[in-house]
Structure 1
Amino acid sequence: MPTSTVVDLLCSHCSHPVTDTTVTATAAGDSLCPDCAPTIAVCAECEEITHEVHRTTDATVLCAQCVSGWTQCTDCTGYTRDSRVLIDDRHARHDRSICGACADAYASCDECGHSTTETFRVEGGNDVCRVCLDDNYHECAECFTLIAYDETYCEGCSPVEHDAVHRYDYKPCPRFHGEGPLFLGLELEIKTPERRFEDAVDTAVDHLGELAYLKEDGSIRPCGFELVTHPMSHEYARTRFPWPLLRRLRLLGCYTDTDVGIHVHLSRDGFSSPAHIYRWLKFIYRNEIPVTTLARRSSTWAVFSPDARSSVIHYANGDRHANRYEAVNVRPPDTFELRIFASSLQPQQVQAALAFAAGSVEYTRSLTPADIARYRGWEWTAFTTWLRGRPEYSPLLAELEDLACAS
């Protein structure tokens, strides 16, 4: 007679035997005895007993099949059909899903409507999440107000406008004046009374012609402009720049203070070799005290940093990876920007800035190792002695004598 092959059915929860008449089947396919069945949850959707419990935010239970299509809240871990996006600033753009109840604990972005762990107040009073902030806003060029990307200034910092004053990023094709090889570009920051702004701009434009143009600049507040020349040789600047303009601007009430400066761009093509660039940078950084005395300021916008001084050999060989706010900004591809000078509307002081830029380049052009070793060519006294025999730099020498640093 054949052997019986009947297999006992066991409870999936306690492993006790059950029969076809006493077994309770769950939605997950488990078999439960009469004692265990009441302790297992019933799915709120299919009403079947389930061993895999998925609790909803409404305090009900779902089985593994019915929970499909629901979203688990990352805060309370309950499942919900009413999921919300939470912009979690700690995780940048890795958004989280939360239920409606948990969303009430968070702020809401006024632009995208999503809940967020942190909001940022933008101009106009809206509070936005990090994603909307990064996508649509930046800081005002003058203050920390968050404004739309297509704006430059907030309403409080917006400069007085004039058709002849271009945006800060205006950069026309350069027009060269005079004979090279060295060309200088003057950037002169000027403040004006608001009531005289239009007169000052008109006066500057009338005097400058095609030699220069005017721009906005974030450092010129509450009202003013930056006068920017096209490239000039030092001789052209000395003899052809409209120097009486500075007096006319003073008479209109224009002024300078510690917030504004003079920057002089020097054409890279004006240097004879990388060695010449090295000698010039070395000379500037070795003479910080007399140079800052001549500049009439020590500024965080034109720092004589140890890193810059130790890196001049790299800068001379074309390295442009540097802080732009050094005494000499080496980042522009075609020029070096000498940033050290305080601004001025006194002709001698502006002429001295241009003369120092040009004179220091010419002085170091032919400086030899013998000059440095035997005659202390790096020292300031050697430079001022060299100046005395060259009348084209007389405004610089006069300014040095006025500042008591001509020797």
Structure 2
Amino acid sequence: MSDELILCAECEIEIDFDEAYEVNGDYFCEDCYNDLFVICYGCNEVIYRDEANEGANGKLYCNDCWCERFTSCVVCNEILYQEDAYYYDGEGYCPDCFNERFAICDVCGEAVPYDEVLTDDYGTQICEDCFNESYYRCSDCGRIIHSDYTYMNEDDDDEIYCRNCYEEHRSRVIHSYNYKPSPIFYGEGSLFLGVELEIDGGGEYQDKAEAILDVGNEDNEYIYIKHDGSLSRGLEIVSHPATLEYHINYIPWKQIMEKAKKLGYTSHDNGNCGLHVHVSRKAFGKNEDEQDTNIMKLLFLVERFWDQMVKFSRRTNSQLDRWAKRYGLAKPEEILERAKGSGRYYAINLENNNTIEIRLFRGTLKYTTFIATLQFVERLVKMAINTPVNEIQELTWEKFIEGVSGELKAYLITRHLKEADQIIPELDERDAEEIRKFVNQLLDASASDLEVA
């Protein structure tokens, strides 16, 4: 013990020099020293207790040593070793707070806020930058897939699929609504008709669709089948483009319709089904101006004979307003202007690039009605193409149907769109009495205005 006494810098009591604690040139008694100071657990330097920082291990550190070793969660303030913390945008998080807010990108390993991460039902988590650089979503199942493992169905609007969904699509006979295979043209010439026939009531079943395809495509690939969201339990039968002659003589429409009926489908009697006929735009002319002129005349014909069109279509006015509205009678050029860009649900739809679509007709599984409809469409188109604008504005219905034959002639009589007597002189290969009986049967059948299927 020294004889020298000094005063404690804090409490000012006399203490023996040898028992005093010196800090930065000041001396403290033991009690004051312990109250005011601690030893940094990192560097062993004496630091003021109120300037010390507690580490994740419960020890006290000077500011420099603490910052070298620890961080605190920006959310809950938990102290963490730096290597145990998770970081995003320069800020540290404890595991719980981080996992509540962020995902780790499976590709680059960077943290991504949950509201910005892209996920799928298979556990994949990926940031937007990585996705945009090399990844896609499967159009069917939503799986996130690398571009090296994508499959594309070029006949299905270039949709992208994973391997499993691609294989399923290849084996599926009911295609999606957007399915558009490369067209196969049947017949000679430029006036090709493509049919969309809606059938309902039998269900959207692969085996039933396959049974219809087996009948329709026995000799060639004439038809395919699509889903149609407007049908509750049905299908849409779509043909590849063919000339009228080819539809009548080669595509087995009668057998297709009989098979559909046996499988429990209806069309006319369902009330919601349509028969849409696509006409190749090239039939209307070699260039856009020529095509527009002839399409304009077709639009005018439909509007000029709208009352007859309604009768022929077998649709009600409310059905036409919903699925096949009219543009309204006006000068031919005005109707064309109205039609362009008006949308799909008009009697004549001009929205397609390569075809115009005639949407007037109610669906049918009656073969003669179906063929009469195709004959009627061809007559409309040829009349529009071959009749000058000034003459078409003066055309009468009687002149329009003059010279019709076959199923179309018989159908016009059943719909009271042609006088029955007019058919007799024009058919020279039948006995007149037998023809009268045939016409009377048609008239009797039309009285109820019903079709079978």
TM-score of the two chains, using structure 1 as the length reference: 0.55
> Aligned to 2:380, what secondary structure does the other structure show?
helix
Letter in 1 for 2:404: R
The separation in 1 between residues aligned to 2:106 and 2:304, in whole angstroms, is 54
The separation in 2 between residues aligned to 1:241 and 1:290, in whole angstroms, is 29
1:202: how far off? Answer: 3.3
- Which of residues 155, 179, 182 in structure 1 aligns to 2:191? 182
> Aligned to 1:231, what secondary structure does the other structure show?
coil
1:224-271 Cα distance to aligned partner (Å, 9 max, x none): 543332322223334444343113431332223355432211011211
> Aligned to 2:356, what secondary structure does the other structure show?
strand
Q: 1:235 to 1:114 in 2, by over 3 A?
A: same
The separation in 2 between residues aligned to 1:167 and 1:195, in whole angstroms, is 11
- Which of residues 272, 277, 280 in structure 2 aligns to 1:264? 277
- Which of residues 272, 295, 298 in structure 2 aligns to 1:280? 298
The separation in 2 between residues aligned to 1:105 and 1:355, in whole angstroms, is 67
The separation in 2 between residues aligned to 1:399 and 1:129, in whole angstroms, is 64
Residue 236 (str. 1) matches residue 246 (str. 2): yes
1:315: how far off? Answer: 7.3
1:217: how far off? Answer: 2.1
| Corresponding residue for residue 391 of structure 1 | 405
| Corresponding residue for residue 252 of structure 1 | 263
| Corresponding residue for residue 320 of structure 2 | 298
Letter in 1 for 2:193: L
| Corresponding residue for residue 362 of structure 1 | 382
The separation in 2 between residues aligned to 1:152 and 1:311, in whole angstroms, is 48
1:280: how far off? Answer: 1.3
| Corresponding residue for residue 116 of structure 1 | 114
| Corresponding residue for residue 202 of structure 1 | 211
Asked if structure 2 preserves the Cα contact closer than 8 Å seen for 1:355 and 1:396, the reply is no
Letter in 1 for 2:320: S
1:213: how far off? Answer: 2.4
Q: 1:303 to 1:253 in 2, by over 3 A?
A: same
Structure exhibiting the larger radius of gyration computed from Cα positions: 2
> Any unmatched runs of 5+ in structure 2?
1-41, 46-55, 57-61, 145-159, 417-445
Q: 1:109 to 1:388 in 2, by over 3 A?
A: farther
The separation in 2 between residues aligned to 1:356 and 1:234, in whole angstroms, is 10
1:189-243 Cα distance to aligned partner (Å, 9 max, x none): 3347469863663355335422612233243867654333232222333444434
Identity across the alignment (%): 20
Q: 1:197 to 1:146 in 2, by over 3 A?
A: closer
The separation in 2 between residues aligned to 1:396 and 1:211, in whole angstroms, is 29
The separation in 2 between residues aligned to 1:103 and 1:352, in whole angstroms, is 70
| Corresponding residue for residue 359 of structure 2 | 339
| Corresponding residue for residue 149 of structure 2 | none
Task: Report the aligned-residue RMSD.
Answer: 5.9
> Aligned to 1:269, what secondary structure does the other structure show?
helix
Asked if structure 2 preserves the Cα contact closer than 8 Å seen for 1:116 and 1:129, the reply is no
The separation in 1 between residues aligned to 2:194 and 2:362, in whole angstroms, is 16
Q: 1:327 to 1:250 in 2, by over 3 A?
A: same
> Aligned to 1:298, what secondary structure does the other structure show?
helix
> Aligned to 1:174, what secondary structure does the other structure show?
coil
> Aligned to 2:241, what secondary structure does the other structure show?
coil
Asked if structure 2 preserves the Cα contact closer than 8 Å seen for 1:363 and 1:383, the reply is no
Asked if structure 1 preserves the Cα contact closer than 8 Å seen for 2:324 and 2:360, the reply is yes
The separation in 2 between residues aligned to 1:283 and 1:62, in whole angstroms, is 91
**Higher helix fraction (1 or 2):** 2
The separation in 2 between residues aligned to 1:198 and 1:173, in whole angstroms, is 24
Q: 1:165 to 1:198 in 2, by over 3 A?
A: same
Q: 1:241 to 1:146 in 2, by over 3 A?
A: same
The separation in 1 between residues aligned to 2:280 and 2:98, in whole angstroms, is 59
TM-score of the two chains, using structure 2 as the length reference: 0.51
Residue 312 (str. 1) matches residue 336 (str. 2): yes
1:50-106 Cα distance to aligned partner (Å, 9 max, x none): xxxxxxxx9xx999xx89xx9997x99xxx975566xxxxxxxxx998956765665
